Amino acid sequence: MASNEGIGKVLTVAVALCLVCSVVVSSAAVLLRDAQQANKALDKKSNILSAAGLLEPGMSVEEQFKKIEVKMVNIDTGKFTDDVSPDTYDQRKAAKNPELSVSLSKEEDVASISRRAKYAVVYLVRDGDDLEKVVLPVRGPGLWSTLYGFIAIEGDLNTVAGLGFYEHGETPGLGGEVDNPLWKDNWPGKKIYGDDGDVQLTVIKGSVDKSRPEAIHQVDGLSGATLTTRGVDNLIEFWMGENGFGKFLSNLKAGEA
């Protein structure tokens, strides 16, 4: 009898320990997930500020981000909308939802993304009533992964202020050079549209010949990363074009967004 009681006590203690451990592990997982999500959101804000040239050393990202006006855009109409809240909107999930996205034809799908969300979160930098910059989300496949990033455009809505990718899985030293500050320095000052209004900004194979007039629309390709270079070129063409943010930028310039 004593032996059975001893076994019973051991089992009780073991079960209690298992329950305590499971609660601790579950709580830690929740806390860790929340911390990871917070870090991810902070990193995204950091990349938005970096693309816009507003990430200053020594200042908190949250403080700098207060300079940004966050708005929702209906990509189909090219106008601001209050139908969706930027606080809860997830553009990636929306792009997979048939009710919240549009299917792209082969001719339209320059960036090979298959579907495009109907709405997008955009970021505006103003000086009083004057628009200084607009930051737009872009995405498209490279060689091994989808590249997610932001392109910042000056107040003339034609001059690149910066470009950066906050998530991708490209090969370090090759396609991963999209993160290289030297390569990213090629973007500011480049012109997106030609005199006819068509997208002229392109990432070429090799280096840009700065003596040629078309150099204002060209960015050096990534050495040894032809497919990633092509992917960046395609996503720029798509998102700056009529099926991306082209209509919005045109409306914004005309004061009709």
- Domains in the chain, number: 1
Asked if residue 17 belongs to a domain, the reply is no
Asked if residue 125 belongs to a domain, the reply is yes
- Please tell me the least confidently modeled range out of 23-37, 82-96, 144-158, 171-185: 23-37
Asked if residue 40 belongs to a domain, the reply is no
| pLDDT tier for residue 245 given thresholds of 50, 70 and 90 | very high
What is the DSSP-derived secondary structure letter of residue 104? P
Q: What does the pLDDT look like over 54-93, one tens digit per residue?
A: 988 888 999 999 989 999 999 999 999 999 999 999 999 9
DSSP H helices, 128-217, are: 181-184
CA atoms within 13 A on the CB side of 79: 8
Q: Which residues fall within 8 angstroms of residue 249, CB to CB, at 6 or more apart?
A: 78, 134, 153, 157, 240
pLDDT at position 8: 65
75, 246 in Cβ contact below 8 A? no
Does residue 18 have a pLDDT over 80? no
pLDDT at position 31: 59
Radius of gyration of the chain (CA): 24
Asked if residue 84 belongs to a domain, the reply is yes
d(CA 12, CA 18): 10
Mean pLDDT, the chain, as a whole number?
Answer: 91
pLDDT at position 19: 76
Asked if residue 117 belongs to a domain, the reply is yes
Asked if residue 36 belongs to a domain, the reply is no
pTM equals 0.85
Tell me the residue range of the domain where 247 lies.
Answer: 67-254
Asked if residue 59 belongs to a domain, the reply is no
Asked if residue 99 belongs to a domain, the reply is yes
Q: What does the pLDDT look like over 101-120, one tens digit per residue?
A: 999 999 999 999 999 999 99
Show the CA angle centred on residue 146, arms to residues 187 and 234, nearest 5°.
50
